[in-house]
Structure 1
Amino acid sequence: MKVLVASGNAKKLRELEAVLLDLGITGVELVSIRDVAPYPEPVEDGLTFEDNALLKARAGVAATGLPCVADDSGLAVTALKGMPGVLSARWSGTHGDDEANNALLLAQMADIGLRDAAFVSCCALVTPAGDEFTAEGRWEGRLLRAPRGENGFGYDPIFEPGDVDGRSSAELDADEKNARSHRARALRELAPHLAALVEAKVKE
Structure 2
Amino acid sequence: MQILLADLPFQLVGMDAFTHLPPVEEDQPTILGNAAKKALQIAQATRMLCLADDTGLFIDCLDGLPGVHSARWAGEHCSYLDNRLKALEMLQNCDRRSASFRTVIALASPQGIIAFKEGRVDGEITREELGTNGFGYDSIFLVKATGKTFAQMSDEDKNQLSHRALAIAAIRPILFKLGNME
TM tier, smaller: over 0.9
Tell whether the 8 Å contact from 1:52 to 1:72 is kept in structure 2 after alignment. yes
| Distance apart, 1:96 and its partner CA | 5.7
**Correspondence for 2:145 among 148, 163, 179:** 163
| Aligned position for 1:196 | 177
Shift in CA distance, 139/93, structure 1 to aligned 2, threshold 3 Å = same
**DSSP 3-state at the match of 2:13:** strand
Please, which of 63, 66, 72 is the counterpart of residue 45 of structure 2? 63
Which residue of structure 1 lines up, in the alignment, with residue 131 of structure 2?
149
Aligned twin of 1:135? 117
> Counterpart of 1:144 in structure 2: which amino acid?
T
Shift of 1:142: 0.5
Identify the match of residue 53 of structure 1 among 35, 40, 46.
35
Structure 1: runs of 5+ lacking an equivalent:
1-11
1:88 and 2:77 matched: no
- Are the counterparts in 1 of residues 44 and 109 from structure 2 also a CA contact under 8 Å? no
Instruction: Confirm or deny: 8 A CA contact 2:106 2:113 kept in the other structure.
Output: no
Q: CA RMSD in A?
A: 1.4
- 1:173–1:101 distance in 2 versus 1, CA, 3 Å: same
After alignment, is 105-114 or 127-136 more displaced?
A: 127-136
What one-letter code is carried by the residue in structure 1 that aligns with 2:81? Answer: E
1:184 aligns with 2:165: yes
- Counterpart amino acid of residue 60 in structure 1: I
- The structure 1 residue matched to 2:98, chosen from 111, 116, 123, is 116
Structure 1 stretch 88-97 or stretch 107-116: which is displaced more?
Answer: 88-97
In structure 2, how many angstroms separate the alpha carbons of the residues matched to 1:171 and 1:95? Answer: 26
Secondary structure, counterpart of 2:42 in structure 1: helix
Cα separation, 1, equivalents of 2:104 and 2:77: 19
SS of alignment partner, residue 31 of structure 1: coil
Cα distance in 2 for residues equivalent to 1:132 and 1:191: 13
Q: Between the two proteins, what is the percent identity of the paired residues?
A: 36
1-structure distance, mates of 2:156, 2:78: 24
SS for the counterpart of 1:39 is coil
Query: Residues 95 and 195 from structure 1, CA distance in 2 versus in 1: closer, same or farther, beyond 3 angstroms?
Result: farther
Pair 40,93 (structure 1): closer, same or farther in 2 beyond 3 Å? same
| Residue 24 of structure 2 corresponds to residue 34 of structure 1 | no
**Alignment check: 8 A CA contact 1:117 1:143 kept:** yes
Structure 1 moving runs of 4+ over 4 Å:
none
Name the counterpart of 1:13: 2
**5+ unaligned residues in a row in structure 2: which ranges?**
none
